[in-house]
Amino acid sequence: MAQLILIRHGQSTWNAANKFTGWVDVPLNKVGRAQAMEAAKKLESYYVDVCFTSLLVRAIETAVICLTECDSLCQGKSPVIKHEGDDPHWHGWDKYEGNPKEELPVFPSVALDERYYGDLQGLNKAATAEKYGKDVVYEWRRSFSIKPPGGESLEDTTKRTLPFFQTRIMNHIKMGDNVLVSAHGNSLRAIMMDLDQLTPEEVPGLELATGVPIIYDFDESGQVTGKKILE
């Protein structure tokens, strides 16, 4: 059996301010860091072999806090971010190689980034609802296929997240690795749509609390055999 741990990042500064965040690289606030610390305590009886995050710092912070504050989760190893691709800005120094027996790989990927909210990013959600109408903003936020102005629909997010999950992440699961994924409400909804076999109509109503781990158990063929939420 292998296990998959999904966690939505802890509360960010813009979560607290009730702003649309999307791709803006907003950090965790004090509450969010505390939520990640609490998640680490809840994960004391689990361990992982590899971690995936989005490129956004709030997801990376949450993963690193969980892994460093729970020694058993990373089996006493140090989390090391692995940069994939050929970004010239790293000047080649992203090719760090250490001792694999002492390090747990953390792979950031744009495929796990939050849904892009376009023109809404940085706007207060309540003020936006007053301006455009609650029903319109609800459709922008919660429908599966309707896009906010200049942004992605949840369907768009699913189209970039699911292929990465079904290949890159599930390959580890099928090899028997335990995996931690630290990401966002909408990219995790896309993954759970696949795991829980949800319809497009059911996915938008899926609520994910910040900093709460969700555990999936798998058999040798990669089929889900169980699920629990560590509230």
Catalytic residues: 9, 114
- Enter the DSSP assignment of 46: -
The C-alpha R_g of the chain, in whole angstroms, comes to 18
CA distance 15 to 36: 15
CA dist., res. 144 & res. 158, Å (int) = 9
Listed in sequence order, the residues at least 6 apart from 85 whose beta carbon sits closer than 8 Å to its beta carbon are none
Nearest one of 52, 60, 35 to 208, comparing CA atoms: 35
- Determine the Cα–Cα distance for residues 48 and 110; give it in Å rounded to an integer: 21
Which residues lie below 8 Å from residue 9, measured CB to CB, with a gap of 6+?
28, 32, 36, 56, 58, 59, 61, 62, 182, 183, 184, 210, 211
60: closest CA among 157, 165, 187, 182? 182
The β-bridge relationship of strands 2-8 and 213-218 is antiparallel
Q: What is the amino acid identity at position 23?
A: W
Angle between the 134-142 and 125-132 helix axes, to the nearest 10 degrees? Answer: 120
